[in-house]
Structure 1
Amino acid sequence: MHKPASQILSALRGASLLLFRSACPVVGGQAVMEGIMMRHGGGYALATRHPEGEIVVERFPWFSLTGHPLLKKPFLRGFPVLLETLVNGIKALNRSAIVQTDAEEAPASGWQLMLTLLLALFMAVLLFVAAPHGLSLLMQWLGVGGGVEGLTFHLWDGFYKCCIFMGYIWAISLVPDIRRVFQYHGAEHKTIHAFEAGGIVDVAAAAGMSRLHPRCGTTFLLFVICISIILHAVLVPALLYVYTPQGSIAKHALTIAFKLLLVIPISALAYELIRHAARLSDGFWASVLRTPGLVLQRLTTAEPDAAQLEVALAALREALGEETAGRDIRTAEYIVASVERP
């Protein structure tokens, strides 16, 4: 089963794969253990390859935090969408692990899900907030960086944040199970490319598509990191200019706490930016916003095989349900179809 940090990365990767074309229903996706989750509307389909070879397809309701109209407004919806995507992504990952181990299904209780989410968030904070901050303090101690009130501290912080992020992705890509997840990530992208293109959607059509998708949640992660570097460099010194607590420990504790609070506006800005980038017509600014994410996807995706594409097609067909009318989406036989799970 995935470690919490891998769960949060996988869930975030799927956060923003949205199709903004009027000809296509809105679909979001995420790779899981030996399978793919596809979301459409108020539910999502989870297709996994059973160890015996069959494809198991199930449908689940989508847990949402944006039921109130106010939380659907621009610049207010980003953080709730991030949280609900993490919750649903972890649920899908856990369910896919149950299918792979053929274990007795024991639905996760609310406190178990909350504990998993909190542990995943703790690992993310440790890796991408606390560790870069501590390494920037080391640079200050070595005399090659300034204090937290200055720009150089936050430049080092941003540098280490990017290094940890890229190093983490590279390191987990060496794990065979994660490499398989990256192949399913590529299958998800190829299948949605084929669906967007129109016509028959089958293994042959999907195989000919690119495994890189401009609306992948990987771009969302890059936006979060870039925006955090800018806001931390501007707002942290501004905060310390207004109020600086006595003592070095208190000052750095305040700084880290402030960075954690900034996750809310940073995720909101990143969400709106990726939606804007998705709607842009091809051109200079579209390339500027999309290219870094496409380059990073060369690490987070891998070429899938035909069997993995079959799983992606089954997930897409089940997610769309009645909206597949008029579209020829050809899938392999699977053993559980349209099973509604609470």
Structure 2
Amino acid sequence: MKEKERAIYGGQAIVEGVMFGGKKHTVSAIRRNDHSIQYFEEPIQTNPTMQKLKKVPFVRGVVAIIQASINGSKHLNFSTERYGIDPNDDEQVALERENQKSTIATYIGISVLAVLSFLVGKVIFTLVPVLLAATLRPFFETDVQQVIVESIIKLLFLLTYIYLVSLTPFIKRVFQYHGAEHKVINAFENNVPLTVEGVRSQSRLHYRCGSSFILFTVIVGMFIYFLVPTSPLWLRIVDRLLLIPVVLGISFEVLQLTNKVRHIPVLKWVGYPGLWLQLLTTKEPSDDQIEVSIASFNRLLEIEKNTKI
């Protein structure tokens, strides 16, 4: 099957598992502490307005991010709830949660919290470098110098944060599942059998990864910020906040472009900075982790195949 005829699948590492998303559904598979694999399946809620916006260039990126945050939060919540819990206690845990609040209310709360968390994190990640760069204005006076210093600080923050969290055993395992997710997607796209041996042979890096997207927001943001003044400070802060959707939208298009040209010898280098960052955000998975990732993806394929689209 030609790549352009294939459905495009994405994924996300969660606690002790992997989530994959298709056109109509999202599916997670996690490894329980009794070594069994448990699934969580969720249909993707469609909204006519959102569906139309997802077709608009530079707008669709923001919509995709919001939807990914909402969908991903449900699966992440599922995996964290069951992390370290004996499967025999699942029924009791489910009963306790049902007594606390309704499922609908829980999902709404999780979705809102996921979007707010993303926005707050983005605002902090955007504004702190601005304030630090402003303190260095006596040494870097021009607008161009200020934007470059701001971008360097932002990049150092990003790399330092990822490196430090990757040192913890818990996050290291999440990054291993992240690698397993990429390997499965690469195997599928390269027509490699979805076996542990076949998947293991694939790269743990992928052009459409969210890690690449985060890096592109730094690079794209720098070029956009060259077009607006850096003083006075209050105007610079307002500009940065107002430009967040613009930076996200353009960065998403850049990410999609790098994926489309990844097989062209010269242009494939455009996506390399994102791949280099993935050397930090992914780790080589174990066979058990690859098995979970394959199980999740196969379950999604099965559900999508049996669903009328």
TM-score range relative to shorter protein: 0.7 to 0.9
Report the counterpart of residue 335 of structure 1 in structure 2.
none
Report the counterpart of residue 150 of structure 2 in structure 1.
157
Report the counterpart of residue 145 of structure 1 in structure 2.
140
Contact kept, 8 Å, 1:190 with 1:210, in 2: the verdict is yes
Distance 1:161 1:253 in 2: 19
Report the counterpart of residue 328 of structure 1 in structure 2.
none
Distance 2:17 2:27 in 1: 11
Report the counterpart of residue 55 of structure 2 in structure 1.
72
Distance 2:194 2:107 in 1: 38
1:132 matches 2:129:
yes
RMSD: 2.3
Question: Which stretches of structure 1, 4 residues or more, deviate above 6 A after TM superposition?
Answer: none
Distance 2:114 2:194 in 1: 36
Amino acid at match of 1:98: E
1:288 matches 2:269:
yes
Pair 1:112–1:90, CA change in 2 (3 A): closer
Report the counterpart of residue 255 of structure 1 in structure 2.
236
TM-score by length of 1: 0.78
Report the counterpart of residue 168 of structure 2 in structure 1.
175
Q: CA deviation at 1:252?
A: 2.5
Amino acid at match of 1:287: K
Q: 1:36 aligns with which of 1, 4, 18?
A: 18
Contact kept, 8 Å, 2:180 with 2:290, in 1: the verdict is yes
**Greater share of helix residues, 1 or 2?**
2
Task: Give unpaired runs (5+ residues) of structure 1.
Answer: 1-19, 241-250, 326-342
Q: 1:55 aligns with which of 33, 37, 44?
A: 37
Report the counterpart of residue 122 of structure 1 in structure 2.
120
Q: How many residues align?
A: 290
Q: 2:111 aligns with which of 103, 110, 113?
A: 113
Pair 1:109–1:214, CA change in 2 (3 A): closer
SS at 1:67 equivalent: helix
Name the structure, 1 or 2, with higher relative contact order (CA <8 Å, separation 6+).
1
Report the counterpart of residue 74 of structure 2 in structure 1.
91
Task: Give unpaired runs (5+ residues) of structure 2.
Answer: 98-102
Once the two structures are superposed, the pairs formed by residues 229-248 of structure 1 within 5 Å of their partners are 229-237=222-230
Q: CA deviation at 1:215?
A: 2.4
Contact kept, 8 Å, 1:31 with 1:181, in 2: the verdict is yes
Contact kept, 8 Å, 1:29 with 1:38, in 2: the verdict is yes
Between the aligned residues of both structures, percent identity stands at 30
Amino acid at match of 1:146: E
Distance 2:279 2:217 in 1: 19
Contact kept, 8 Å, 2:19 with 2:75, in 1: the verdict is yes
Pair 1:100–1:133, CA change in 2 (3 A): same
Contact kept, 8 Å, 1:59 with 1:318, in 2: the verdict is no
Distance 1:131 1:233 in 2: 18
Q: CA deviation at 1:217?
A: 2.0
Q: CA deviation at 1:53?
A: 1.0
Pair 1:175–1:278, CA change in 2 (3 A): same
Report the counterpart of residue 269 of structure 1 in structure 2.
250
TM-score by length of 2: 0.86
Distance 1:290 1:236 in 2: 29
Q: CA deviation at 1:281?
A: 5.3
